[in-house]
Amino acid sequence: MLFHVEMTVNLPHDMTPARADELKAQEKDMAQRLQREGVWRHLWRIAGRYANVSIFDVESPAHLHDVLSRLPLFPYMSMEVMALCRHASSVREGDA
């Protein structure tokens, strides 16, 4: 199942720079691993914001929730999730 997820990060103002850097490094490692595994299919930064638009390819909504809730920055994110399905006019057969 494909899902469009928009994530916005809001780190607390009183978080130490060292803690923020640690969380960001952990987030990057996990995001890259999930991309290599094919779960996090696309990842784009939204210009001018601490936010991204991503496409996830997961088994179910529950699987998506599990993946997202394990992200190191999850406690500091707001997310908008939309389920996707293949458009009848799409020429890309692999996007089912």
pLDDT (tens, 9 = 90+) of the chain, 96 residues, equals 999 999 999 999 999 999 999 999 999 999 999 999 999 999 999 999 999 999 999 999 999 999 999 999 999 999 999 999 888 888 877 666
Identify whether 89 is part of a domain.
Answer: no
Q: What is residue 29's predicted lDDT score, i.e. its pLDDT?
A: 98
Identify whether 78 is part of a domain.
Answer: yes
- Secondary structure letter of residue 22 according to DSSP: H
CATH number at residue 36: 3.30.70.1060
Identify whether 94 is part of a domain.
Answer: no
User: CA 48, CA 25: separation in Å to the nearest integer?
Assistant: 21
Q: Number of structural domains, the chain?
A: 1
3-state secondary structure of 17: helix
3-state secondary structure of 19: helix
Identify whether 9 is part of a domain.
Answer: yes
Q: What is residue 49's predicted lDDT score, i.e. its pLDDT?
A: 97
Q: Which domain holds residue 19?
A: 2-84
Radius of gyration of the chain from Cα atoms? 15
Identify whether 55 is part of a domain.
Answer: yes
C-alpha distance from residue 81 to each of 5, 14, 16, 17 (Å): 5, 28, 30, 29
